[in-house]
Amino acid sequence: MNKLLISLLVSIGITGVAHAAGDATAGQGKTAVCTACHSADGNSVVGNFPKLAGQGEKYLLKQMLEIKSGVRSVPEMTGLLDNLNEQDLADIAAFFASKNVQLGQAAADQVEAGQKIWRAGVADKGVAACTACHGPNGKGIDSAAYPSLSGQHAQYVESTLKKFASGDRNNDPANMMRDIASKMSEAEMKAVSQYVQGLH
Task: Summarize the annotated binding site as residue ranges.
Answer: 34, 37-38, 77, 130, 133-134, 177
Annotated binding site for heme c: 34, 37-38, 77, 130, 133-134, 177
Other Cβ atoms less than 10 A from the Cβ of 27: the count is 23
* Measured distance CA(7)–CA(48) in Å, rounded: 33
DSSP state of 184: S
Cβ atoms 40, 31 nearer than 8 A: yes
Query: b/e per residue, 38-76, with b = 16+ CB within 10 A?
Result: bbebbbbeebebbbbbbbbbbbbbbbbbebbeeebeeee
What Å distances lie between residue 50 and 10, 38, 39, 54, 80, CA to CA? 27, 7, 10, 11, 16
φ, ψ of residue 141 to 5 degrees: the values are -130, 95
Report the candidate in 144, 160, 151 with the shortest Cα–Cα distance to residue 58: 144
